Structure 1
Amino acid sequence: MKKKSTLWFALLAIAVMLAGCGNNGGNTGNNTSGNAAPSNDAGQATETPATDEVVTLKVGASSVPHAVILNNLVDTLKEQGVNLEVVEFSDYVQPNEQLYEKQLDANYFQHVPYLDQFNKDKGYDLVKVAGVHVEPFGVYSSKIKAIEELKDGAKIAIPNDPSNGGRALILLAQHGLIELDESKGVDVTVGDITANPREFEIVELEAATLPRVLDEVDIAAINTNYALEADLNPTEDALFIEDKDSPYVNILVARPDNQNDPAIQKLVKALQSPETEAFINETYKGAVVPAFQ
């Protein structure tokens, strides 16, 4: 009988100890903060909802330098909860069309005159979010080493889109090759050439094809992104280029409905940071010039 009583008391003591451990379970184990897990009305533990969700930001860009600059920011934005997805394009039409159709969240490849003309032609309302850099527009040749060698009647290729075509004509006029109707400003076209005493033949071609036709023309005015893709260095290979005060700043573009989204604004801050300025200067050594606006 005495043995049974001793066994009963031992079992009772064990039960009390186990109950005590159960009541303190919220302060033991892996909960190092000392806070009990939240519970519902039934006393059951519930999971704490995540407050920091990762947002994917899909941005269209020309391969060089735009995509290169953006890809340099992927890790920085990831730390801020933004998954930057860079989509590369080889033309100047699809990035705007896909942005308007909401297949992209933003794009980075163009300057304001091009955007304005595109919006006008398409009836779009895409908007500038921020200015980032200037790509000094250059004139190149595989046939001559200096512009003084250019012969009368030479064939000159320029981009066939209105804004970049006008930009090329202005650059040619600045260097005395032609004269233009200055009242047209940046909207100047081939039809606005007022004097061409050396009878140059001006041919308008798709901007992306210009580096590939250098052997077929005497000189070509080429956008820097396409020049870089063709391994042409604007500061070394161009016969002449725009100066750093060019009004053609390349911009980040979005839609009116998302231009103020937090993820877009984080991208703007990263693009206009001292770190990005240093990256552009170190990578392109004057071929691409930071121009934060």
Structure 2
Amino acid sequence: MNFKKFLLPVALLAAFSFALAGCDGGSGSNQAKEIKIGATAGPHAEVVEAVAKEAKKQNLNIKVVEFSDYITPDKALASGDIDLVSYQHKPFMENFNKQNKTNLVAIGNTILMRMGIYSDKIKDIKDLPEGGIVAIPNDPTNGGRGLALLQRAGVIKLKDGVGFKATPADVVDNPKHLQFKELEAAQLPRSLTDVDAAVITMNYVMSAGLDVKKQGIFLEPKDEPLAVMILAVDGKNKDNPTYKKVADIFHSDGVKQFIAEKYKGTIVPAE
């Protein structure tokens, strides 16, 4: 065999392969690895887009992956299809872990989406009239959350231990004899012309264009677990320094400014 003829093609092939490797922009050292963050369409995805813009300044390349439901993002995170998710509160994530035997972990807070009590007739929760009508969501989770908020506001008292599972039947003290009108959550903003107050989740406050400062008379506290949205990661990556940088960017001046200008108080940064 003529070894010189054999070695020449091998050498050329090696040189060609090396050249290809040098031209591979996706794996080159000058381009940051793509970080995929799952978020539901709307405010969550919009905030992550703002985070992605700020991240570029730190040579972090973020891709926003939008979802239209509340289960698929966590499943995609658990399976490794995406790196982070930003759309849920901690109790939701913990319930997902329990139901699916996964180990998703919160590595930071993102935004606050607080439930609130709104009114077109009064300016202070203390001014609710005797026998006033208060509209609350008719679904079990948000209905109980609304009653718990009314208790926190000091206008009713619930049976001990019912928490967010409360129903109007669990009201044990009602000094003003308030009447509770259970409505579909989407109808609550429109009900303000007919009731004295309504307990409304922030997504419907936003879609209806309500003014939090003018119509909001009592909001959930900033540390309410159901109001604080989180950035979650698979537990095996909870100490990843790059992901921690992403969590910090949610609290950057640029993102805070975007939230303030875009949502005008309906959504605010979480601490």
Q: Which moved more, 1:131-140 or 1:99-108?
A: 99-108
Instruction: Choose from 171, 187, 207 the match for 1:229.
Output: 207
**Structure-1 residue corresponding to 2:139:** 160
3-state SS of paired residue (2:232)? strand
Amino acid in the other structure paired with 1:249:
V
Deviations, residues 88-122 of structure 1 (Å, cap 9, x unaligned): 54x64554455456565433222223333454456
Report the CA distance shift for 1:155/1:166 in structure 2 as closer, same or farther (over 3 A). closer
- Please tell me whether the aligned partners of residues 159 and 222 of structure 1 are also in contact (alpha carbons under 8 angstroms): no
CA RMSD of aligned residues (A): 3.7
1:82 is aligned to: 61
1:61 equivalent in structure 2: 40
- Matching residue's letter, 1:157: I
Q: Deviations over 1:140-192 (max 9, x none)?
A: 346x3455355627352236353x444322221123332123545x5452264
Q: Cα gap change, 1:68/1:196 in structure 2, threshold over 3 Å: closer, same or farther? A: same
Q: Would the aligned equivalents of 1:137 and 1:221 in 2 still touch at CA under 8 Å? A: yes
- Larger deviation, residues 126-135 vs 188-197: 188-197
Residue 239 (structure 1) aligned with residue 237 (structure 2): no
Deviation by residue 1:3-46 (Cα, 9 ceiling, x = unmatched)? xxxxxxxxxxxxxxxxxxxxxxxxxxxxxxxxxxxxx9569463
Query: Is structure 2 residue 231 aligned with structure 1 residue 252?
Result: yes
Shift of 1:69: 1.7
How do residues 1-293 of structure 1 correspond to structure 2 at under 5 angstroms? 44=15, 46-47=18-19, 48=22, 50-51=28-29, 52=31, 54-61=33-40, 63-64=42-43, 66-78=44-56, 80-87=59-66, 89=68, 92-97=70-75, 99-100=77-78, 104-120=82-98, 124-141=102-119, 144-146=121-123, 148=127, 152=131, 154=133, 156-158=135-137, 160=139, 162=141, 164-184=142-162, 186-190=163-167, 192-196=170-174, 198=177, 200-201=179-180, 203=182, 205=184, 207=185, 210-211=188-189, 219-247=197-225, 248-261=227-240, 264-292=243-271
Call closer, same or farther: CA 1:234–1:85 in 2, change over 3 Å: same
TM-score (norm 1): 0.65
Query: What is the number of residues matched between the two proteins?
Result: 247
TM-score (norm 2): 0.69
Deviates more, 1:40-49 or 1:119-128: 40-49
Q: Tell me if the contact between 1:57 and 1:263 (Cα under 8 Å) persists in the aligned partners.
A: no
- The change in CA–CA distance for 1:230 and 1:179 in structure 2 (over 3 A counts) is same
Relative to structure 1, the CA distance from residue 113 to residue 167 in structure 2 (aligned partners, 3 Å threshold; closer, same or farther) is farther
Looking at CA atoms only, which structure, 1 or 2, has the larger radius of gyration?
Answer: 1
Structure 1 residues 171 and 165: CA distance shift in structure 2, 3 A: same
Contact preservation (8 Å) 1:58, 1:86: yes
Unaligned stretches of 5+ in structure 2? 1-9
Unaligned ranges ≥5, structure 1: 1-39
Shift of 1:282: 4.5
Note closer, same or farther for the CA distance 1:228–1:118 as it changes in structure 2 (3 Å cut).
same
Q: In the alignment, residue 226 of structure 1 is paired with which amino acid?
A: Y
Query: What secondary structure sits across from 1:131 in the alignment?
Result: strand
Name the % identity.
28
Quote the Cα distance in structure 1 between the aligned partners of 2:42 and 2:67.
6
AA in 2 matched with 1:291: A
